[in-house]
Structure 1
Amino acid sequence: MSNYLLTCCSTADMPHEYFQNRKIPYVSFHYILDGKEYPDDLGQSISFEQYYRRISEGAMPTTSQVNVSQFIEFFEPFLEEGKDILHISFSSGLSGAYNSANIAKDELLSKYPDRKILIVDSLAASSGYGMLVDMAADLRDKGETLEDVHNWLENNKLHVHHWFFSTDLTHYKRGGRISPTSAMVGGLLHINPLLNMSADGKLTPRKKIRGKKKVINEIVRMMDMHANDGPDYSGKCFISHSACYDDARKVADLIEEKFPHLKEPVRINSVGTVIGAHTGPGTVALYFVGDKREN
């Protein structure tokens, strides 16, 4: 058995049971909803259904990242047990959690000089981040060392593609991310923005596509263009969604039809409460392994 732990942040947006089954501790971001603070605990405190319903009714949740003291509190019990740590962090392009984790690491290693803490900036989010964690767990379970898994992550993290579209611009308008005029015009014309994750770990708008059917076809076309081996792709494929399972299922069905050699059926997860605070309902995100992401 390995003498190190693989850890991550809650924003990897995988099911709570997944982390239990694969023995991956996670540290929770937090969010405030209707004046009350909650941990981003993967639907345990508030179900995803309830969370997105409250947003649809007008709630505007705010989020907070994991700070240095919280990382110290999270890491230290593992070090006390004599375990080393490989922590895969939420993208530095979206949060300061990576910097906080590194500050905590430096403080803890001065107290535990015989232990190791290696931290990887995933440059990833939601279940694309979860996919990277999942692949690292596969390597860990095959007996790869902490250093080998760390090096693999650094060499391969930019090959995990993230493509997103949104069919509901209401929350973007409420949060000031787009103007009321843009939201109105987008709604009238059924505009669905298509975004992806850039090489520096930021969400980047790529196209404005008119109509849900067209944007579903386009997001699958992006996988055909960028996935390893194109239509012969045989790796993992994950999807996450914010209260629009039917749209996510349509994307998954199309992918399973067009990519018959997938390693396993497409996994569909919920976009978590922290990332969902920024997207609102109506977002579908697709993740796969392919060519190296660029800006």
Structure 2
Amino acid sequence: MSIRIITDSASDLPKSVIDAHNIEVLPLIVYLDGKEYLDSVTIQPDEVYKAMKAGSEVKTAQIPLSYFIDKFESYAQSTDYYIYLSFSSVLSGTYQSAALAYEAVKEKYADFEMTIIDTKCVSLGLGIIVVEAAKLAEDGASRDEIVNYIQKTMPHMVHVFSVDDMAYLLRGGRVSRSQAVIGNLLNIKPILHVQEGALIAFDKAKGKKRLLSKLYDYIAERGTKLDQQIVGIAHTLNEEEALEVKGHFETVYGTRQFIITQLGCAVGAHCGPGMITIFFKNEL
């Protein structure tokens, strides 16, 4: 029996990484000017962010229950064992839909078993754990060993974000209208992290230079053995800054393992173009 690792498109993993480790990715829903798309399947992040810059309305939705049921029924007819690592349940109903779908499929296939985990992680915070779980499966680790590793690692995944335009955070209810207007006028960049699965604003910086300085301080305070782990860097139409952050990790910490990618639609649609996000562990 093989162990298959499943995740959703909020993991933001590049296709090359997905293919290399035989990871199955289930797409969230993206609405662009009212038209429905499948995240990173029928629409790509570049298209979404360019449309946002042009003033288009973008919304996202969780994976439908019916989609999960169809998928899980196909898994029930396989000899493989499936572990699904989900986007944070605080930010999406996808985990709850997966759990409901599993119970529905169990009624039809009584012997069907799979593990569904609410990682409380976002973007490459989720993606890095997914990749490490897939590598464990490739190396022949048991189901219990993989699940135990995931559960042990989840609380130690650090996420730190900043956005370029606070108007997008206003739309998502993360800041007030006055904060967004004043912040943009004064070139204030909010800094956010993930706490118990929720995206929380906890600091701010004036201008890009000061922002990067604060991000680097945050990494120095919380990172552990950064030369021995995968660091994730995701951005929205902001590759130059992503590569600058990569250079900082290489120079200061000797980091050699990276996943660098465009932020997917599920998270990026709520934060807008110009975003930079960094992911690493505070304990190995």
- Pairwise TM-score range, normalised by the shorter structure: over 0.9
Q: Following superposition of structure 1 onto structure 2, how do residues 37-186 of structure 1 map, counting pairs within 5 Å?
A: 37-40=36-39, 42=40, 44-173=41-170, 177-186=174-183
Asked whether the 8 Å contact 2:11–2:124 carries over to 1, the reply is yes
- Matched to 1:204, the amino acid is I
Is 2:268 the counterpart of 1:272? no
Q: Is the alpha carbon distance of 1:276 and 1:78 closer, same or farther for their aligned partners in structure 2, counting shifts above 3 Å?
A: same
- CA–CA separation in structure 2 for the residues paired with 1:47 and 1:68: 23
Question: For structure 1, which segment, 280-289 or 172-181, has the greater mean C-alpha deviation from structure 2 after superposition?
Answer: 172-181
Compare 232-241 and 3-12 and name the one that shifted more.
Answer: 232-241
Q: Is the 8 A contact 1:61 1:277 kept in 2?
A: yes
| 1-structure distance, mates of 2:244, 2:222 | 20
How many residues are paired up? Answer: 284
Contact 1:60 1:277 in 2 (8 A): no
Contact kept, 8 Å, 2:31 with 2:59, in 1: the verdict is yes
Deviation at 1:33, TM superposition (A): 0.4
| Structure 2: distance between partners of 1:174 and 1:56 | 14
Match of 1:290 in 2: 282
Identity of aligned residues (%): 29
Give CA-to-partner distance per residue, 1:227-267, whole Å, 9 cap, x none. Answer: 124xx64211010111111121111111211111x242x32
Match of 1:224 among 220, 225, 229: 220
Residue identity in the other structure for 2:217: R
**Which residue matches 2:249?**
255
Q: CA deviation at 1:100?
A: 1.1
State whether residues 55 and 280 of structure 1, in contact with CA within 8 Å, keep that contact through their aligned partners in structure 2.
Answer: yes
Question: Contact (CA 8 Å) 2:3, 2:83: kept in 1 or not?
Answer: yes
What amino acid maps onto 2:198 in structure 1? K
Query: What are the ranges of 5 or more consecutive residues in structure 2 without an aligned counterpart?
Result: none
Cα distance in 1 for residues equivalent to 2:197 and 2:238: 24
SS in 1 for 2:111: coil
TM-score, with length taken from structure 1: 0.90
Q: Deviations over 1:173-213 (max 9, x none)?
A: 45554344322321232211111111x20011110111211
Whole-Å separation in 1 of the counterparts to 2:103 and 2:87: 18
Q: Distance in 1 between matches of 2:275 and 2:245?
A: 12
Q: Deviations over 1:84-122 (max 9, x none)?
A: 211101101111111111111112223223332111111
Q: Please state whether the residue corresponding to 2:270 is helix, strand or coil.
A: helix
Residue aligning to 1:245: 239
CA RMSD of aligned residues (A): 1.8
Contact 1:227 1:233 in 2 (8 A): no
Q: Is residue 167–residue 181 contact of structure 2 (8 Å, CA) maintained in 1?
A: no
Sort the Cα spacing of 1:176 and 1:94 in 2 relative to 1 into closer, same or farther, 3 A: closer
Query: SS of 1:279's equivalent?
Result: coil
Partner Cα separation in structure 2 for residue 121 and residue 90 of structure 1:
7
